[in-house]
Amino acid sequence: MLYGRRTTGLTRPLEMPAWRLTRHRLGDGYRSYPRTVQDEVAAALRSPLDFLTAPPALLRDCDRLRRVGFTVRDGRYLCARWPGDAHRFAHEPAAMLARPPAAP
């Protein structure tokens, strides 16, 4: 489904510190797979460069700070990295309806 598309997801720099911080209480429960989400998804893409990481997520977005959120749109496909991108991700469908993608 993602082959040939640009996408994003939980990045290695977001996943690994969260795992390290929660490991003493949750064990390996935060990490369900032996590879990071970024590595797993990038391996399924046409090119690993199709997995976009964006600048580090230092802040969570909000309605007033949607610009700190990160989304990737490829045609009608829309994705975000983590819950800190939720406000931007929630507002993107309205923008997509206002500006439909160009025909291939």
pLDDT digits (tens), the chain, 104 positions:
899 999 999 999 988 988 888 888 888 777 778 899 999 999 999 999 999 998 777 778 887 777 788 999 998 899 999 888 998 999 888 888 887 666 66
Does 52 fall in a domain? yes
DSSP assignment of 77-88 equals: EEEESSGGGHHH
Does 3 fall in a domain? no
Does 57 fall in a domain? yes
The reported pLDDT for the residue numbered 37 is 93
What's the domain count of the chain?
1
Does 37 fall in a domain? yes
The reported pLDDT for the residue numbered 68 is 81
**Token pair in block for residue 84:** 């800190």
Task: Tell me which residue range forms the domain holding 82.
Answer: 12-98
Does 1 fall in a domain? no
Rounded distance between C-alpha atoms, residue 68 and residue 88, angstroms:
8
Does 6 fall in a domain? no
Dihedral (C-alpha) 93, 95, 97, 101: value to the nearest 10 degrees?
Answer: -100
Does 73 fall in a domain? yes
